[in-house]
Amino acid sequence: MDRRTLIGMLAGGLLVATFAGRAQPAPKVSRIGYISFRPGPNEFEQSFLRGLHERGWGEGQNLIVDFRWAAFDQQRLTAMVAELLALQPALMVVADGPGTVNMIRSLNPAMPIVVPAFADPITQGVTSNLARPDGNVTGVSALATELAYKRMALLKEAVPGLRRAGALYNAATPVPRGAAVSVDAGKELGVEVTQMPVRLPEGIDAAFAAAAREGVQGVAIVSSTATITYRAPLCELSLAHRLPTIFANRAYLKAGGLMSYGPDLEGAFQRSAYFVDRILKGAKPAELPIEQTTVFQLVLHQRTARSLGLRFPQALLLRADEIIQ
């Protein structure tokens, strides 16, 4: 074989390989819708995307995520749900609000839905069975409401001589079960707990001022989409009125809250990517049991305690999962 023939064969082979490479099909791109009643994005969305990345999904590569944030506007939410469904996603992720789940199901009963942080899916009427979800909805249950008693007990432990406390919640919603549980917990703990419905964010300052005048010594914040969104003014104004606060999860403490006890919400959003991954690969929501959070974190904020003139008891410090200095 002469040199010219060899070069021709090599060139031809290279050309064939090049065309073969070009002829390979592009990776399939899946599409999902993601909707939240609050403004966004924030660390929960970051955690969700991180979970997807861990499972091999990348935005703009093999996945399109159509994000929508309604910013507490019900009409906007309704329009956004219809808009996302018109895009024909493979599934919908509902970051918050059982009402949004029901809206999607009324418009498209067959649409798979993943919820990263249910409060209580059975009480909310989303499903009647955690092990085999009905209604085409699955995800992670945070069980935040059931921990209201524990939070009140921890607040009493952290605030010496606690006799009067408040259970603050978003006044734009019906009285949440967490507020009622906090009141009942106070009766057992010897603490008078007053329900504090507050318009968020405009009513926070006046509510804390009134609570301080009435002798309230600490406030348990009943977690909701709105309280998480307005955590910064809640923390700042509670400090301004020298009112210790306990929250439902660590996310609040980034804004300066005193302490928190509850599930790792960022972890729940990251875990919800597992359900998205399985559904995109062919699983049905009924085949994916709703997971219940079993790890709860006690987080203490030392700088906030010093600002309030408090010292956490040693027994509380020893039980803490994290101490923010």
Res 26: pLDDT: 61
Which fold is adopted by the domain 145-264+296-324?
Rossmann fold (3.40.50)
Rounded Cα distance, 37 and 102, in Å = 13
Res 12: pLDDT: 47
Place of tokens 């606060």: 245
The pLDDT profile of the chain, 325 residues, written as one tens digit per residue, is 444 443 344 344 433 434 444 545 567 899 999 999 999 898 999 999 999 999 999 998 999 999 999 999 999 999 999 999 999 999 999 998 778 999 999 999 999 999 999 877 887 788 889 999 988 999 999 866 678 999 999 999 999 999 999 999 999 988 988 899 999 999 999 999 999 999 999 999 999 999 999 999 999 999 988 999 999 999 999 999 999 999 998 888 888 899 999 998 899 999 999 999 999 999 999 999 999 888 899 999 999 999 999 999 999 999 999 999 9
Contacts of 289 (CB under 8 A, 6+ apart): 130, 131, 132, 133, 138
Give the helix/strand (H/E) hosting 304: helix 302-307
Q: Which CATH number fits domain 30-143+265-292: 3.10.640.10, 3.40.50.2300, 3.40.50.300, 3.90.550.10?
A: 3.40.50.2300
Res 144: pLDDT: 64
Give the domain ranges of the chain. Answer: 30-143+265-292, 145-264+296-324
Res 321: pLDDT: 95
Give the helix/strand (H/E) hosting 104: helix 98-107
Q: Is 212 helix (H, G, I), strand (E, B) or coil?
A: helix
Burial 279-297 (b: 16+ CB within 10 A, else e): bbeeeebbebebbebeebb
Res 289: pLDDT: 97
Res 22: pLDDT: 52
Rounded Cα distance, 35 and 198, in Å = 25
Res 314: pLDDT: 97
- In angstroms, how far is the first alpha carbon of the chain from the final one? 77
Q: In CATH terms, are 30-143+265-292 and 145-264+296-324 the same topology?
A: yes
